[in-house]
Amino acid sequence: MVNDEARIQALVASLAEPVVVLDEERRLVAASPSAAGMLLDATPGRRVGEDVGGALVLFVGALPELSAYEELRAGFTAAVSHELRTPLARLLVVLESASLPGAVVNDLLEQARNEVEQASELIDDVLFLGELETGREVVSLGRTRALPLLREVAAALADRASHSEVTLQVTGGEEVELPLRPRMLRVVAENLVANAIRYAGPGSTCRISVTNTGAGGPVLAVADDGAGVDSAELGRLFERFYRADTARSSRGTGLGLAIVKHIVTSAGGSVEASGAPGRGLEITCRFPA
């Protein structure tokens, strides 16, 4: 039982969302860091009343029977529920505002459309990640010449990049191949470039490159010279729903880099992030030779 509690506490401690886990008698099993700040006392084992400050509450039954998979699924479900609440809450505010005297309905309808698209994007990402994890999407099936596809992705995202005042550049060897299906490579590239467009900031440049290091294998890198990320947060960028402090107000789903990591590692590769505040961010995907 102690080991089960420790696993739950470790899992919940990694969540950015306010989540509280209670047992059948409402004793506190674990609380995420943001939820702990809402509680007067976050000591495990104490009884918790009805008021948990707006945190999401999960109940667990017989802890010894709780598998690692169930723990992970519970944490993931909690995070998804929390993330969906945000666009839905904003949508409700917009719809209520539309009924007020003097409301500019067309503007409010556009805001409502944006919120629905945000929720839809989150659901799509959750479903896709679920497919990856259950093996329904074959990641590494043949090889794909990377540069032509990367150019297509850059062209498709050009308008979004221009709106955000981010310049896109694509470089690399014409014959470099990556051990990914075309669709999987497109998903990886789109998520990495969209991440740079969303967070790099106006006036920055995003460089998408693919090279072959020979014995070291091919490398796909997306680097920008924009806002950057604090070094303490680099290791958490690939966690589901995690957003660095500078990205808290973003409309992103928080799943893009988690999807990238899952695809790359499923293909036998590795992914890492480097950068610093004011010095940009680089995501490097290394594949086996």
DSSP 22-82: E-TT-BEEEE-HHHHTTSS---TTSB--S--TT-EEEE---GGG--HHHHHHHHHHHHHHH
How does residue 2 score in pLDDT terms, banded at 50, 70 and 90? very low
Q: Is the pLDDT of residue 192 over 60?
A: yes
The larger pLDDT score, comparing residue 139 to residue 113, is at 113
**255 and 163 housed in the same domain:** yes
How does residue 249 score in pLDDT terms, banded at 50, 70 and 90? very low
Q: What pLDDT does residue 167 have? A: 96
Q: Which residue has the tokens 């490579």?
A: 185
Structure tokens at 159: 């308008």
Q: Is the pLDDT of residue 62 over 60?
A: no
Average pLDDT, the chain: 77
**20 and 54 housed in the same domain:** yes
Radius of gyration of the chain (CA): 21
**106 and 167 housed in the same domain:** no
User: DSSP character for 251?
Assistant: -
The larger pLDDT score, comparing residue 53 to residue 48, is at 48
Mean pLDDT of 107-122: 73
Of 35-49, 147-161, 162-176, least confident by mean pLDDT is 35-49
Q: What pLDDT does residue 73 have? A: 53
Cα–Cα distance, 146 to 15 (Å, whole number) = 34
Mean pLDDT of 129-141: 59
Which helix H or strand E contains 185, and what residues bound it?
helix 182-199
Q: What pLDDT does residue 19 have? A: 79
How does residue 215 score in pLDDT terms, banded at 50, 70 and 90? confident
Q: What pLDDT does residue 113 have? A: 77
Last residue within a domain, chosen from 65, 97, 116: 65
Residue 138 lies in a domain: no
User: By the 8 A CB rule, do 133 and 262 touch?
Assistant: yes
Q: What pLDDT does residue 22 have? A: 80
Q: What pLDDT does residue 248 have? A: 42
Spatial neighbors of 276 by CB under 8 A, at least 6 apart, are 228, 229, 230, 231
Instruction: Specify the pTM.
Output: 0.56
**123 and 148 housed in the same domain:** no
- The amino acid sitting at 8 is I
Domain encompassing residue 38: 2-65
User: By the 8 A CB rule, do 15 and 78 touch?
Assistant: yes
Beta-strand ranges (E) seen in the chain are 19-22, 28-31, 56-59, 144-145, 166-172, 177-178, 204-212, 218-224, 270-275, 281-286
**99 and 180 housed in the same domain:** no
Range from 127-131, 155-159, 214-218 that averages highest in pLDDT: 155-159
**87 and 182 housed in the same domain:** no
**CATH label of the domain that carries residue 109:** 1.10.287
Closest CA to 180 of 188, 168, 170: 188
Angle ∠(19,21,24) on CA atoms, nearest 5: 150
Structure tokens at 255: 């799943």
**151 and 235 housed in the same domain:** yes
Percent over 90 (pLDDT), the chain: 26
How does residue 223 score in pLDDT terms, banded at 50, 70 and 90? very high
The larger pLDDT score, comparing residue 164 to residue 45, is at 164
Structural domains in the chain (count): 3
Spatial neighbors of 145 by CB under 8 A, at least 6 apart, are 174, 175, 176, 177
Q: What pLDDT does residue 246 have? A: 47
SS3 286: strand
Residue 139 lies in a domain: no
